[in-house]
């Protein structure tokens, strides 16, 4: 039973985390630029792992009773996504090729990388829906000892995915050295940001939460 719980956690966690989203695209771009890759991957993994564990221990039930918190997080996420999407769209028209030489220093500080990673990981309410409420709700169906194996499977996949995405992105480096490649990635980032922001706005309009 413990192996089954671990496998279910890994499969469900992977299905939710691997889906392309704003956070994954941010990790991908940082990986291509070789800019604070380790810290970005580590912080993303810790965020997901913490939220998954918190959801399994009952935080998902608490959040469900506080709809105003979801509303506040949604509008904060919309503002952040629109700003970052606008920056990416600006780079589409004035492309900046991603130069990736091993001996070059990172273009951003550790503090800036951590703050941006926290923003991408915590300002998107869909993250809470996937990790805290959905995975947490499924985990709650297991006995406590088996729940630990479920959480371990989901957290392990999260760590593996973000580090694979961050360091595996270097394979795209030759393409991203060209303006067309940089423009394509920034366009993808901008579109994803605007789509997620529009989705959040639509959800709040349907709920009547202005």
pLDDT given for residue 42 in this prediction: 95
Range of the structural domain that residue 120 is part of: 2-207
Instruction: In whole angstroms, give the CA distance from residue 116 to residue 23.
Output: 10
State pLDDT tens for residues 23-74.
888 888 888 888 899 999 999 999 988 988 888 777 756 665 666 766 776 6
Rounded to whole angstroms, what are the CA distances from 78 to 18, 29, 141, 168, 195? Answer: 22, 21, 33, 29, 10
Task: pLDDT band for 88, please (50, 70, 90 cuts).
Answer: confident
State pLDDT tens for residues 119-157.
888 877 767 777 777 677 667 667 777 888 888 888 998
pLDDT given for residue 100 in this prediction: 47
Whole-model pTM: value is 0.68
Number of folded domains that form the chain: 1
Q: Are 8 and 139 in contact (CB under 8 A)?
A: no
DSSP sequence for 34-92: TSSHHHHHHHHHHHHHHHHHHHHTTHHHHHHT-HHHHHHHHHHHHHHHHHHHHHHHHHH
């Amino acid at each position: 039973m413990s192996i089954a719980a671990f496998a279910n956690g890994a499969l469900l966690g992977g299905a939710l985390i691997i889906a392309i989203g704003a956070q994954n695209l941010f990790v991908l771009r940082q990986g291509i630029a070789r800019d604070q890759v380790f810290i970005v991957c580590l912080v993303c993994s810790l965020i997901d792992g913490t939220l998954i564990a918190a959801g399994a221990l009952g935080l998902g039930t608490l959040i469900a009773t506080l709809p105003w918190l979801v509303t506040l997080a949604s509008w904060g996420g919309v503002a952040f996504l629109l700003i970052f999407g606008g920056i990416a769209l600006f780079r589409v028209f004035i492309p900046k090729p991603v130069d990736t030489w091993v001996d070059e220093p990172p273009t951003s500080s550790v503090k800036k990388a951590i703050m941006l990673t926290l923003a991408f990981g915590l300002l998107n309410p869909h993250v809470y829906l996937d990790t805290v409420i959905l995975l947490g709700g499924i985990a709650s169906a297991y006995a406590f000892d088996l729940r630990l194996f479920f959480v371990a499977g989901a957290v392990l996949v999260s760590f593996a995915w973000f580090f694979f995405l961050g360091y595996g992105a270097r394979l795209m480096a030759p393409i991203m050295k060209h303006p067309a490649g940089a423009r394509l990635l920034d366009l993808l980032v901008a579109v994803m940001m605007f789509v997620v922001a529009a989705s959040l706005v639509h959800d709040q309009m349907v709920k009547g939460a202005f």
